[in-house]
Structure formats: structure tokens, C-alpha cells
Structure 1
Amino acid sequence: MRRMDLSNAPSSWDIERERLAALSGYAILDTPPEREYDVLTRVAAVALNVQSAAISLIDGHRQWFKSRHGIAFPETPRAIAFCSHALKARSALVVPDARQDTRFRDNPLVTSEGGIRFYASVPLITQTGLCLGTLCVFDPAPRERLDDDERLILEDLAQHATSLIEARCARRMTEIAGKVVDATSDAVLAADLSGRIVHWNAAAEQMFGRSRGEAIGEDVSIIMPPRFVHGHTEAFGRAAQGGPTRLVGSFIELVAMRADGSEFPIELSLARWGDPSGDQGFAAIVRDISARKSLEREREHAQKFLQSIVSNLPATLFVKDVETRRYLMINHAGETVMGRPASEIIGATDHELFPANAEASEDRDNEAIARRETYQTEAAFTRGDGETLYLRTMRTVIDGPDRPCQYLLGVSEDVTQIRRTEAEVLRLAHYDALTGLLNRSSYTDRLFRMVQAREPFAMLSIDLDRFKAVNDQFGHPGGDAVLIQVGDRLRAVIEGEGWIARIGGDEFIAVLAGERLRERAQMCADRLIDELAKPIVTGRGVCYIGASVGIVLMPQDGETTEQLRENVDLALYRAKHNGRACACFFNAEMDSSARDRRQIERDLREAVAAGDIGLVYQPLVAAQTGRITSAEALARWTHPVKGPIRPDVFIALAEECGIIDQLAEQLLRQACVDARNWPADVRVAVNLSPLQFVSGKLVETVGAALAASGLCPSRLQLEVTEGLVIRDVERTFDQLEALRSLGIQILIDDFGVGYSSLSYFQRFPFDKVKLDRSFVEQVTQSQAARAIIQAVVGLGAQLGMAVVAEGVETHEQMEALVAMGCTHLQGYLFSRPLPVTTLCAMLESQRSVVPRQDSQAA
């Protein structure tokens, strides 16, 4: 059986596109109602005894009703139109009950109140076979299918509706044709067989300077110069007798004459005409081609201008004969690139001109000819003087007057400078833009190759000490200035010994190869530390940073890049742990220490997840009365094996491993819950980690803890350190202000040990200032400590801030602090940190705390 060849059959999309174009051409969409259409829908509704009927036209995205009977809306989306289904079927569609039909039961037109139950339609198919829409009827009650008479009525009405649409279109086309004739810029005129003008449109009036009244009835020769009238009269007579004429059915250029006698060029097309009444004649379309003739003259000038552009184009432009490969054209830029005059190039081949490049050039020409499309290449070209250029050339084959693919056109751009620039960019891609040292990518590549080659080497990991403080103090521009000088000093030490790279913000790697690696590595590390210990002067001030160095040796300390990186990090960690500003070689014990630390980290994560980090509370007392006014929440963790872990250790670890937010939120919620059971005038103080301010969710977290516990916000105090304040002043103060607006008190802790700035108190009204315990310890021994405390107390009094002295352990300290005006005291002299149950019992039995004996406090 022979298969049908459907390769040329139109696709459904092509048919739909043709249908939509035809519908648009009928110009019936969105037109006002018309009586003859409304009669049809009314008759359809009455004849088929339904509530609603419509003439529906299916546009690209909607169903629009040319006529609607019993329908409130003028259109619906096409996606829910029943008629879309009839459109696809191109035949009558009957739906007895839409709610029972899986195609329509979920349709909004069905499910809405009073929705469609019964539906029937017949497509509106034009004489060209395109379906514009349907004549449809529908009713809110289901019913049986149409009988033959009802179907015939619906089909007849649909046929009549289609006839109305096509008749309407025909009338419109007739009107348009008349308007086109009147509106066209071409003169349209007609003459009978005697040569008398019988039609003269508006354009003819404008073109020839004669009104319609002046022209009708005159001989057509009035539009011709006198010298052509005789020849026209004879030719027209032959044509009127049925003889041949070269004008009929073709365009010819002639000279015409206006009423004022002026002449102008025209293009004329002549056709015979006749009508049912027997009248005959000739119709002519006349176009004034004065502008075209002017354009032709301009085109000649343009061609000359184009030739001038080609000749002076900055890029090389050449044309070769495809068969002979001889140059037929070359512009001035080509002469410059090739280093020869056009007189030597034209007529010659590449083999004759440039033997060294000829074979490769011919291969590229052959490829372009074979592809029959634009073909781009880039290649080196050696001129006769020996200079090598890089040319990016686009070749394409073009047809000629004699045969297709006659010429090979090429346009070449000299990209020599671009390639040189790219090579420089590639070089810079391997170096750090700020310091000029090798970058991380180069470091990774070089390290990998040295490990693969099994070359012994020493690797030094250099980390700057206190660089973060420099960034906080001077900002990133100041930090960059410091890094530039650091890079210069590192380069001066390592140059001649090995290579150095910047792999991160303040992290550097130096690699030494050769002999005596341990000795040389120690020497370089010592020199690096000495150099970086010297003051660094920038435009923003003088700073001191220092450096710590970790060292590994290959292959003793690792035989893979991963091992070496891990071990040099451990060595660096040990150097920092040993007090910074020192160098440390890796040893196996460090790996064990690292494993211990990782185990502690895992245990801490498990403890946080299980909620095993607890709280104890240390009371704060009013200095004058000894009455407990608040209690500071302090975190405690008892490791199942190692026992109690110092808070500064596990809090720092939580910050390092990224679980501080989770831990801090747990502790805050617990503190709020515990404090809810205390007397209403006793507050709870909770310390904040600087990292809690980074995420931007601190205010939300605190609000949630207060809401969950029911604790009044005025009973919550949040303690922040000076170090936190200086990290990001604006971001920090914005969040503190938001917290204070909730009614929470804000305390600044450890005041006096950081980068203190009195401007902070002007920027933000802290509720309390907590003196660092280092001043309290020296209050009875150091005049300087007493002076600082006195100044802070005075400042607090002026600004309305309470001043808290923490770490009070002796009666002498207490008496001195009270005498200087401290308002609140905290320390072992009054109470050690207490479990919440013990604190609650204390608050119930007594509200004042009697200082303990010094021996007890100790």
C-alpha cells in the first residue's frame, strides 16, 4: 500500500493562522449590532425553543458574539468557549447535557448559576472552506438531541448567517475599491473606444492639473505633449479596432503633459474594459515617476559614493574569482595590510603574491565555497616585509551575472592589537588585582602540578593578625591600602626563594622549592613576621597588624594537595593559638588536636539540637539598698565526658561553626520563660553575640521570644559589647533602635576595653553601662582605674544612664565603687551564678542581698 505524502499538507497551525487572517479580513469583529443578524438569533431561539442563541466568531483568544439573544455578556475567553470544539470538528456539535459531558462539566459557563446544560451549534464555513465561528443555541435545561427538522433549521440559519457575513464583506470591498481608486496617488482614468475620457479620479486631477469636470468628455490626448499626439491617435485607433498594442498589459515609460504645458515622466499601464451593457474602452493607471527618476540619478551618485566607501573602508575588502582565485578587487586598507599596491594584487593569486600563506588561505577559501554561507576564520598572516598580523576574515560566495557562485567576497579585520590585549588580560587573570601577587587560581594550579611532579617543597600559610580590626577602624579602602603594602613586603621576602599568592582577604601562601627546605622556610617565616610587625602607614593613619605563619613540608606532611592544605591550616591554627606573631611547623599531634576539636564541635551541635545548654543567673543589686533589681543569664554546658566547658570556649566555637543563632535563640527563649516567674520589678539580662546582628533577624527573634513567653518587654535587658558597636555602626544602631522601640532596655557591656567612643552615647541612648571587671579589680590599687570609673560614672549621671560594676569580689572594692557613685553592683561578693530554682527561692524569701565575707566571695 502506498503511503500518503503529507509533507506538503498544511499544518493545523497554518490552517488556524489562515482562518484568523480571513476573520480579520472580514472586519466584522467588535462592530455594532445589526438587525439582520439579530433576526437570525431570535428566530433560532424561538424555532428551537431555547433560552439563548448567538452568532459566535472565534478570534485568537476570545469568542465574540456578533449577535446574541438571551446572553448578557458580549464575549468569553476562547479557552472556555463551546464553539471552539465545533470549530475543530467543522460539523454540527450537540451536547444534550453539559454537566454529564467530560469535555464541559468543569467549564465555568456550565458550573455557574443558570449555566449551560444544552448546547448545539453549526459552523459558519465560508466559500473558501474556512470556519469563522458558529451559529449556536443553548439552554439552562438539558434536553434530547436535535431531531432532523431542528438540525435542518439550524444549518439553514447558519448558512444564511455566513451569506450575510460574506455579502457584508463584498459590499465593503466594493466601497474600499472605490475609495482606493479615489485615494490612490496613481492617476486612474478611462476612455471609451472613441478616445473620450469617461473616468478621472482625484489623483488624475492633482497630477494633470485638470478637474474631473474639465477632463470628462475630452480626448485622452490632452495629457500628451503635441509632438506625440499624431502617433497616439493612430495607435489608439488600431487598438479600438481590436488590433495589437504594446501598451496593453505592460508598463511603459512615457512623457505626459500637465494643463499648464509642463512635461513630466510617467509610467503607464493600459487595460481593456467592458461592462454588461456593452460599453467598452481602455482604462489606464498612470504613475508620476519624477521622484523615481530623481532617485535613479541619486542611485548613480550613491554607487559612486559606495565605491568611495569601499575603497576607504578601514577593514580589508577583497573579491576573488571562484574559478581562477585571482583577485578582482582590493580596497586601500587591503593594500596596507598586504603591503602591496592594488596594481600588483589585482589579477594575481595568493600563490603568486604570498607563497608562505597561500596554501592555508586556499584551504579557507575552499571551505567558504563549499559551505555556501558566511564563513569566519582567524589566522596569522605574514606580509612580505616579515611582519605577522592576525586577521579575522569573513568569506562568502556571491552570485555573478554569468553564473551562480561566481565571486568570493572577503572582509578582513586586523585584530592583532586585540589578540595582544587578550594575551595581557590572560596574564592578569593569574594575578591578584590588588597586590599584584599570584591569585588563588594560579596558586591552586601550581600547587597541583608540583604535587603531581612529586617535587619536595615547603608551603607557608600566612594569616594577618588584627586585620579585621583594621578594616573595622579604617574601612575597606583603608584595608586595601594595608594589603597593598603587605603584598610588597611579602614579595620582597619571598622573591628569589619561591613564589607567593594571595588566596583570600588577608590570607597568603608562599611556596619554596629546592634544598634545605626546613631551614629556609623558618628563615623566611621569621623575616615575614618581622617585616609585618613594622608599622604600616596609610592615608588613613598608622596601624600595626603582625602575622602568624603555618608551615608544611612536602612529602613529609602530606602527599596530596588536600592533605597539605589541611595540615598547613592546622599549623597556622597552632601558631595563632600560641600567641600569634609566630611560625609553627606541622606535626602529627596537631592532627590529634584537630580531631578533638572536631569532636567537641559535633558534641556541641548535638547539645544545641537537644537543648542541653542551660542557664544560670547572677543577681545585680542596687548599690545603695542591696536589693536585687535584675539577674544576668549565663550559659553553661556540661560535656558528658570532659565535664564543664568554659562559656567563652563553647560560645566562640558556636560562632565559628555557624550555630550561634540557634543557640542564642534557645537561651533567649529560656531566659524569658524563667523571668516570667520572678517578681514583676526584677529584670533579666541576656548577652547578644555580634553574629546575631548579621542575619538581620534579631528583632524578629526577640519579639518571638517575648510573645511566646508572655514576658513584658520592659523586663528584658540585652547586653552588647563595644566591639559589636564598632563593626557596623549604622547597621547595629538601626537594630538596637528597633529593639528599644519594643520597650527593651539596652546595656553596653565591658565598657572601656575596646575602641571606646563617646560618640556612641550621642548616637544611641543606652540604658546602662557595665564597667569591665579589669577596672573593678584595680579600683583600690590604681589611680588611673579610679579616674576612668569616676569619668564613666559622671558621664552616666549626665546622660541618665545607670552604671554597673561587674566582678565585685571584696568589701573594699564595693565601698570604693559605691563612694564613686556606681548605681548597681554584680559579683561573687553578692552571689555566684545560681540555678533558676535557687534564684526563685531567693527572690521569694529575700529581695536584698547581704555582701558575703571576702573569704566566702573568693
Structure 2
Amino acid sequence: MAGKNWQAGSKNSLATALVCLAASAWPCAHALAASGGFQPSSYVGSLDPNVIWEVLIGGIVIASFVGAVAIWVVSALRRVQRSQLRRNFFISSALNHLNQGVVMIDPRGRVIFCNDQYLNLYGLTRADVPRDMTGAQLLEMRRSRGVLHNSDEEFYGRAATPEGLITELPDGRSVLVKYFTLPNGGSVATHLDCTEQRKLSRKLSSTTQFLESVLDNVPVCVAAKNIEDGRYIFANRAFERFSRFSRDHIVGKRAEEIFSPATAAAIVKADTAAISAPEGYHRNEFQVERGAQRRILASNRVIARNEKGQPEFLIALFDDVTDRRSLSRELENAKKFLELVVDNIPVALIVERVKDGKYLLANRSAETILNRSREEATGLTAADIFNPREAKLIVARDEAAIRKRGLLAEEHPISTKDGLRLFLTRRMTVLDDAGEPQYLIKTHEDVTDRRQTESRMAHMAYHDGLTDLPNRAAFLQALAQMIEACAGTDEEFAVLCVDLDGLKEVNDVFGHATGDKVLIEVARRLQETARGGVVARLSGDEFGLIIDGKQPEAGQALAARLGEALANEFQIDGKAVRTGVTTGISVFPHNGPDAAALLANAGAALFRAKQKSRGTVNLFEPEMDQQIRDRRVLHQDLSVAIKNGELSLHYQPQAASGDTVATSRIIGFEALARWMHPLRGFVSPADFIPIAEESGLIVEMGEWILREACREAASWPVPLQVAVNLSPAQFMHGDVVNLVHSILLETGLSPGRLELEITEGVLIEDFDRGLALLRRLKALGVRISMDDFGSGYSSLSYLQAFPFDKIKIDRAFVINLGKTPQSANIVRAVIDLGHGLEMSIVAEGVETAEQLSFLAKEGCDAVQGYLLGKPAPIAQYAPLVGRDNTMEPARKTG
């Protein structure tokens, strides 16, 4: 192209030279004619011979000059053409020797060049790419030969990105294509064989995955950071649990962005010491605040250097050694980093090579199972260590895990020096680059104590903490089983809702302690009267029973016997206490097809009986649906109340537990909704909260409660915490995370002062979604607590899945403290469980000094109950929040 342009330019220059030559000769001819010496008609006859000779000589000179110029121009053009050909040959040769294919397209879309590497990559020849072939035709030809599977749009769209397009060839090779547009409208595409590079990348990924898999399966905290900027680049699961942040939140942040100032300063100091240490290794201990407790952490730091010997990364491992000083001394004498990591996990760890079953690695904890030192076990197989029967079982379970190629967990007993203990064994298969099993990681964890605690908790989940009767959940389950057994037959049974009369008066006159004893005695008499039938405590003073037989006669007869059994006075602590029962009855199958309907209709019959007269028995009748209509009216009134600002908030103190009320320090308040109806007067939360939950109004109400509580707390001169309950409905409907975030920004409340209380219902509906939302909420900096712990089915599994900041022990487990050893053991187990999981414990329903003293002695972190203060407008607690009584109270909003 350049040569042709030069030649065109040369020809234009020649024409220009000829024109200039003619122009220079023209004045001479013109002057000759003007002098009269040049006349065509008389030219021959009148012109002087000398003049004619001179003219002829001049013409010859001019013609010779023009010819010489023409010869010079042609010669120059040939030299330029040869130079251009040599240049083109050199360029073509260079492009053909590149290690990547090159294709050039001119502005009209025609292929003007493709090098040899491009042809070789796709199995093409020069003949396959004729002159005037377009880029689109070239792509279509490759597509027809099976070496291109992308459309033109996808090809150009992805190849033009900085990452380029990777195409897979039939022979297994991978080609990276990048496409560039030239300023003149043409384009250049490069094609690089990246097969080996991708293999190396996959191998690196496999190695990284193995290392992360090992580190994620040890409970020691492991973190790595970039020395240059101090930002974390890796954190294992144990570090997530310790910091209470996800690794996505940790990676990319510095210590001061995650921990408290004091803890961050200690971490930075230890990092600096490790970097400056000649051996690149540093060990130290420092203290951190975990809730109301101070913990001691043992830290080990190792410096990783680059190929120039310069510090590049810092690897930190640390563990809680508060209760294990002796272990800390052992760790200080450890020689190798791998031994330091493996030896300090609280479970037995064994790494086995799949191809020959030999043990490659075992920690000290594994010596209990191996019955020998780990050094002696290294290189041996299960058959070398265990007796034939045990070895056969172990090999069979190992092979099952290898076939599964994932995690296999099971529990089984193992004989130890401490007797027969229950162990949880986890087997994790690690694959190589080809996806084949390479290593088997086995951990053995002693779960004997945990399973005993879970057994107690399972009982708590289905039983009332005070009376030890089945609770509402267990009653509904038994009711569903009865329905299933009687369905399709002519058998009947009755559901009795029994309300204890006079309990409120007993509590008011003698106190809740006496009232609780009455409930325990009532439960005993109900069980005796029911003669082994199903008896459950449905709520505070309401019980449920199931009776089969001919109905309604059998149900009415049982109700009569219950009335007689409870008519006799109770002797409680030398006091004579009298009470009675009112009963509502529904019958299957006439009064409901399912458990919920039968229980609801029995409750409607009880409601009607209490309206008639205390101590009566009433059967369900269809017209009792009026109660449902009343609830609908209350629902409509509640909707109006939310919009008109009829709701208000009361606040109940929460205190760090001390031996007495005087030594219990107020640390915050729980915000509780209250409703003063313009006609009904005070409406109990027990009445309107369930309606709000069922109708979905709880979402709107919950938003108002959260905003009002945050606005109020932000105005307190003393920065105490404020706790707000979140309903499961708020998680299922709407964006609860953005709502909390926007309210914090709107009110200016510090996230660390807000505590969100949730029940297990948040996770029951959609576990994965609920868990993700809780993690996002925690990332905002707010605190998350599990409310009503132990009152549902699955609290333990939820505590394992999410690092709650706090566990609230339900009032039902506190009210009987000091009365029965079972209650004390249960509360003590919950406290130990929470502290073992590094969670704070709050006990609700504390009403006596004895309860407070017991909780303080057992290490309960905080308490809440009437003994510390009842729910009331915040003005009643003005001095606690730093306000003068004369200060104007916070404005209520609707």
C-alpha cells in the first residue's frame, strides 16, 4: 500500500516537473514572436540560418533534458518498488514467526493478511483463504469445519473485551482470541494457544482448594494479610466465627476496620514484631473483650517472603487459651508451623492417602484413638493399627466416603481411657487435578457431653419448663396423630381447652412464686384425672386435653372430673388456695378436619364459656364463629391504630446481672408495643400481636416500632442499648436489611447500640434465606439475639449455623429456679452452652432476689424482669438514660 502510494506520488511529481519545464520554455518562445523574428508564414524564408541553427540546438537540448528526467524517474520508481517488496517480505516473515495467529481486515471487511500460526491453529491452508475473502466468510468457513462454535455477534462482542474470548478446539486445545479495531476502520485479531496456561491455572486452583479445605476443617483461627497495606487476603471458618463477620466482609479490610481499637492495636503491634523478627516468626498473647468477658488469645505469626527474600505476606494463627495455659506453654515449644496448626485443634485429625490407605498426618489428639504416638502412626494403615474387625469397619467407611467424594459424617462409640465415649467422625475427600480422590481428611470429635445437653434441650423443646407437661407444639403434634388414626373410621375424640380460674388473683395476693406452685399442682391433678391421656400446657393458665370415646359424653364427663379434682383447695406453703376451671370442648370430626381447627374451635367454646360463667363447660357451636368476626373487627381497628398513631412504646430495663438489684447495672432497654384503643381501652399485646402476625400488619407495625425505638434511643444522653423484636413476617416480606440500614441513617443511632431480637420462626420458613439476611444484618454492625430460647424445635441447629451475639432464656425456664433441681440444671446447661459458643446470656422473667442471685452465681451475663423494672414509658426511666425529669419527653410519631 505504501509503495503504491509512493509510486503514485512519484508519477505526480514527474508530471509536475514536465509542466514546470514547459512553463520555463514558454517565455522564450513568446519573446521571440513578439520581436517579430518568429512568423509562421515567413519562417523559412526570412529566418536567419544562424537563428534556425540555434533554435534547433535548443530544441534538442530540451528534448534530451526531458528524456533524462524521465529515465531518472523510472529508475527511482523501480528502486522504491524493490525496497517496498523487501520491506513487505520482512514484515510477512516476522508476522509468520509469531507464537500467535494474526488476522488483518481492511476497512471494507476483506482479509488482507493472516499468518502461518493462524492457519496452523485451525488446520487451514493458504488456498483456504483466497483474495477478496471477507472476515465474515472466514468465520463461516471455520464454523463449517467445526473449529468455531460462536455466532459472529458473540465472537466480536466477547473478543473485543479486555478478557478476550476463549474457544475450545475439537482436539482439546484452548485458544484465546482478542479483537482490536483500527483507526482507519480496519481491524486486527490475535489468536493465542493458551492450553498449557489453562492447565497450570486449574492445577493452581486445585492446590489452593485443597489447602483451603484443610484450613476450613480445623477450628483454629487462621488468617493471612498483605504486609504492604495490612489488608486481610484470607480467613478460614474459625476466624469468621471469632470475628463474627463473614470472610467476604473480612477480606480487603484492615484490623482496625473489624476489631475494637484496643484489640486492633494489639494485632498491629504483634504484626510489626513478626515482620521485624529475623526469623520471620513471632508468638505472643493478648487480651480481647468478648461480651462481658475478657479472653486471652495465643497468637502465632509467620512471615512469607517472595523470591527476593522480602516480606510479602503474614500468616496469623490464634486460639483461645484462657483455660489452657499449659497448652500455651506446649505451643511455645512447637518447632513447625504445620504442627502448630494441627496440634491445637480440639478434635482428632488424621490425613490419609487414598491410593494406599497410609496415614500421612495425625495430631496429638488422634493418639487417643490410634493408641500410639502420631510419629509411630505415620506411614501405617488401618490394618497395621487396629484389630481385624475394627480395621475392616474403618476401611469400609473410608471407601464409602471416597465413593461419595464429599463430606460423610456419622456418630459411633469409641473406647477410651475415660470409658466409652460418643464421637462424631467426619470424612472429607480431597480430589486431585483430574477430579480423582487423592486424600481423605478424618476428624473425630467427642460429642458425648453435647448430645446429653441436646437430649435435655429436645425435652425442653416439647415440654413446658414449669410443669414439665407437653407444650402447645407437642399437643398439636399429638392431635394430628389422633386425626390420622381416626380418619376414615367412625371413631370420635374430643379436644378440651381448660382455663384455670383465679390464677391472676393468686399471683396478685400471694405472688408469682405461689402461683407457679399452684400451676405445678394443677398439672399433677390433671394428669391423674386424665388417667394417662394427653395433657398439655398451652399457655400461662390454659391447658389442653384429648379424650377418645363416644362424644360429646366422654369429653363432658372428663371435664366434670377435672372440675371436681381442682375444686379441692391447695395447700401451698401453709396457705389455703382455691381455684377452678372453665372448659371448652370441640369434637372430631364434626368440629374441624385438622388440628388447628379443632384447637381453635375448642378455644372459641372456652371463650364462650368464660363469657357465661366461670367454672362452666361449653361445647363448640357453629355460631361461635362470632369470635372470629370479633377478631376481624379488632384487625381493622389495629390497621387504623397504626396509621393514626395510637400505638406507643414502653421500655423494660435490661441489666448486667449482679448478686442484688443494687449491684445490677442497667445496660439497655427492650422496646415493647402498647395499644390504647379509643373504645376498648388498653388492648393486651397477647391479643393484638397475634392478629398483626396473622394478617401481615406486623410488617408495617414492626417498621414503626423499629424507627420509633431507634429515634428515642438516639436522643438519650447515656448511650444505652435498645432491643427491638423482629417478626418472621418482616423477613419474609420486604427488605428488612435495607429498612434497618435506612432507619439507622435516618435516626443517627450507632449500629452497635441496636439489638435485634428474633425467634426461630425467622429460620424455620426459609433457612437459607433467613440465614443470609441475618448475616447481612450483622454486617451492618447491629447485634442479633435469639429470643425465647428453648421454646421451639430447632434452637441448637440454629445456634450452630449462625453466631448470635446473645441468647435470651425464656421466662418459663427461670420462674422455677430455686424450687426444683431440674430447673436449675436446665438453666445452668443453657448458660454453659451459650458461653461455649461465645454468646452472651440474658435471663427473662426475673422476679425474685433468689432467682437473681442464682443467675449471677452461674455467670449469666444479663437479666430482665419485674425485679429490675416493669415495661413503662421512657419518662419513668429518665435518670437512667441521662435525662432530667423536667426535660420534655420524646415526641411520639405515628
Structure 1-normalised TM-score? 0.33
Which structure ranks higher in relative contact order (CA pairs < 8 Å, sequence separation ≥ 6)?
2
The structure with more radius of gyration: 1
